[in-house]
Amino acid sequence: MMKIGIVDADLLGHGTRHPNIALMKISAYKKAAGHTVQLVKSYEELGLDFTAGFFSPGEVIGLYDEIYLGKVFTFTPIPPGITAGKNVIYGGTGFLPEECPDLAYEVEHHRPDYHLYDDYVRQEIARGLKKNRFADYMEYSIGFATRGCFRKCAFCVNKKYDKVFFHAPVKEFFDPSRKYIYLWDDNILGYEKWRHVFDELEEIGRPFQFRQGMDMRLMTEERAAVISRARYRGDYIFAFDHLKDRELIENRLKIWKKYCTGTTKLYILCGFESQDAQDIEGVFERIAILMRYRCLPYIMRYDAYKTSEWRGIYINLARWCNQPNFFKKKSFREYCEVNGGGSSTMRYLQDFEKKYPRIARKYFDLKYEAAPICF
């Protein structure tokens, strides 16, 4: 019997509201084999001497027989040299894909350990954090029905496969004691037999959501009808990454809005192709389109936005759009004015407006409630 340490680097590095599904599967598999498994809540719990700097390749480090280290985000920090440890197995999209092997088949298809994070959640609630912050850890069955995507978007880490393919039945990761289901599928509507997945979800009968969003460009009458009548939980999430797709997106939104009366949200990528006024104008134009279809934008800032002369505008756009109560009631200008005339928020707006008055005239005073409806 071994002592296994599970390290969720994203959790330790910057906090996250989402459990790591791969680590949960590893935990479940190791527990089923009779080993002792523990979620590591700080790097100090590993028993490592961080003052020594890098560890020697092949060195057994820490107090565990095996340490499983996972991270989703490339920017998540980890201790220098920790991956060189002989007893450290690491993986996830936060590392370069070519460095990380896939989970073994029997691990990948093991039902996740939904209790891996229990002690962490109890600890955080005891510190005074609200219980609903940890809903993903406590209330959801989590997994993939399909994997892969044919889009191969330059900004996306999921470029390993050329198509969408079946991964597992939902029942494989479904826990009847949990109220909801969420799926991390990359592009469910790109799967030829997508209807089978929705049929299984209907059979299970629990409210569900596709957290990665769905591909609006693939919307059809049949798909709109099936999705809109399903037991979908929360906002319907899609994406509007590029302004060049506007005609296709608008065409599909017309179809979608014939069937759906629920809240629809589309991710708006920005700061990727450029970080200049042209990119910001493209963001505003996509927002204006979504206003006309009574959809909500959600600003997704590519990390390069931080290098922009207009970094403050990107920040304000995200704060405005990503808070629906503000977005539905106030124009961009009105949102900035709430912060006061001498605030940095207003200074960002005024500096941009002075240099690009045409863009400001066209977009700064648009309001969600006043936009003409296009469906």
More confident residue, 200 or 156: 200
Rounded CA gap, 129 and 108, in Å?
Answer: 32
70: nearest Cα among 34, 45, 103, 47? 103
Contact indicator for 5, 64 with CB cutoff of 8 Å:
yes
Give residue-wise pLDDT tens across range 323-347: 999 999 999 999 999 988 788 999 9
The CATH number of the domain covering residues in 139-235: 3.30.750.210
The whole-model pTM stands at 0.90
pLDDT per residue as tens digits for the range 238-269: 999 999 999 999 999 999 999 999 999 999 99
pLDDT greater at residue 120 or residue 58: 120
Q: Give the C-alpha distances (Å, rounded to integers) separating 222 from 139, 189, 292.
A: 30, 11, 23
CB 29 within 8 A of CB 107: yes
- Distance, in Å, from the CA atom of 21 to the CA atom of 93, rounded to the nearest integer, reads 12
Mean pLDDT for the stretch of residues 343-366: 96
